[in-house]
């Protein structure tokens, strides 16, 4: 497995694969890989002839005061995980390789990026759409793989691909959880032992909401209130949002009729965690 740092080196490799008629899968990541990422890579390997994992902590998706500098990084550990999962290549550029110093072109989106995480992270999805578009142009994959944990990101990328006519199939993959229910995330490494236990409140509360819907409760406001109250029983937790939305349009639902996305963002101490259930 190769680790490639420059676009100039990567492009001829991809062209060679294309000439051979090989199908290329892309798994975009910010590194510090866990079993959630590994499941994306394994799926990509099973559906493509070649798999590229991008490993890039993208500065444009972090807001002022967010954790860009402290975001965990470990390319050697990532390489071992990618190799074991069967990836062919890691694209691991420096920020200067991805962004010219005078870069002034961005990909942005209305509507879907305004609610949920977009409320407290107003520039986040502009950074995500920009870097994912750039990765799509650089790698030109047939398929790209994203986790359902970032449900808003998945909906935003599906919409971007539709609106900008990218000829790429977006594959959404299920959330991978620890045995006790905590959704896997690179940011879980920030949690102290006490916070790690407190963080279980996200999944427990969402399951409570899901249970209410399964038992016939259709009023989204009642379910949101119950989820919020349950999260607030945990002293280390501070709710950012609890929302029930259409999983594709991300529009708020008043009544649960078909599929509904119940999503939450919660601060556990200083760490902001997200989770969701359909």
Residues of the shown chain interacting with ligand PAF in the complex, contacts defined by CB under 6 A:
28-30, 58, 61, 128, 131-132, 150, 153
Could you give the angle at which helices 35-47 and 75-85 cross, rounded to 10 degrees? 40
Q: From CA 159, how far away is CA 108, in angstroms rounded?
A: 11
SS3 call for 147: strand
Q: Which is nearer to ligand PAF, 91 or 212 (CB)?
A: 91
Q: From CA 170, how far away is CA 248, in angstroms rounded?
A: 13
Q: Which is nearer to ligand PAF, 98 or 201 (CB)?
A: 98
Does residue 124 have an active-site annotation?
no
Q: Which is nearer to ligand PAF, 68 or 213 (CB)?
A: 68
Name the pairing type of β-strands 261-268 and 271-277: antiparallel
In the bound complex, what is the minimum distance in angstroms from residue 28's beta carbon to ligand PAF? 4
Q: Which is nearer to ligand PAF, 61 or 188 (CB)?
A: 61
Q: Which residues contact 152 (CB under 8 A, 6 or more apart)?
A: 112, 113, 116, 117, 118, 125, 250, 263
Q: From CA 271, how far away is CA 232, in angstroms rounded?
A: 16
Q: Which is nearer to ligand PAF, 38 or 224 (CB)?
A: 38
**Among candidates 93, 95, 97, 77, which has minimal Cα distance to 37?**
77
Are 264 and 223 in contact by the 8 Å Cβ rule? The answer is no
In the bound complex, what is the minimum distance in angstroms from residue 149's beta carbon to ligand PAF? 9
Q: From CA 13, how far away is CA 116, in angstroms rounded?
A: 39
In the bound complex, what is the minimum distance in angstroms from residue 215's beta carbon to ligand PAF? 33
**Among candidates 245, 225, 240, which has minimal Cα distance to 121?**
240
Are 191 and 260 in contact by the 8 Å Cβ rule? The answer is no
In the bound complex, what is the minimum distance in angstroms from residue 274's beta carbon to ligand PAF? 11
Catalytic residue among 34, 37, 124, 203: 37
Secondary structure element (H or E) that encloses residue 53, with its range: strand 50-55
In the bound complex, what is the minimum distance in angstroms from residue 124's beta carbon to ligand PAF? 8
Residues designated catalytic: 37
């Amino acid at each position: 497995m190769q680790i490639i740092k420059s676009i100039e080196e990567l492009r001829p490799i991809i062209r060679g694969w294309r000439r051979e008629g090989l199908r290329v899968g892309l798994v975009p990541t910010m590194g510090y890989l866990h079993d959630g990422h590994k499941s994306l890579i394994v799926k990509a390997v099973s559906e493509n002839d070649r798999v590229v994992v991008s490993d890039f902590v993208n500065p444009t998706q972090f807001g002022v005061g967010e954790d860009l500098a402290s975001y965990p990084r470990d390319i050697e550990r990532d390489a071992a995980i990618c190799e074991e999962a069967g990836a062919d290549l890691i694209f691991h550029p420096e920020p200067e390789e991805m962004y010219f110093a005078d870069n002034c072109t961005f990909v942005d989106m209305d509507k879907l990026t305004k609610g949920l995480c977009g409320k407290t992270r107003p520039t986040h999805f502009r950074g995500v759409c920009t870097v994912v578009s750039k990765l799509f142009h650089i790698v030109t994959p047939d398929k790209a793989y994203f986790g359902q944990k970032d449900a808003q990101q998945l909906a935003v990328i599906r919409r971007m691909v539709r609106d900008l006519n990218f000829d790429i199939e977006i594959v959404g993959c299920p959330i991978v959880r620890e045995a006790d229910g905590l959704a896997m995330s690179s940011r879980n490494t920030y949690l102290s032992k006490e916070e790690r236990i407190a963080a279980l409140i996200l999944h427990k509360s969402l399951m409570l909401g899901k249970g209410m819907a399964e038992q016939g409760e259709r009023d989204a406001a009642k379910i949101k209130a119950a989820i919020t109250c349950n999260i607030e029983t945990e002293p280390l937790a501070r709710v950012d949002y609890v929302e029930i939305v259409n999983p594709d349009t991300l529009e708020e639902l008043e009544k649960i009729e078909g599929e509904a996305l119940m999503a939450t963002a919660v601060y556990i101490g200083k760490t902001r965690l997200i989770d969701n259930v359909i």
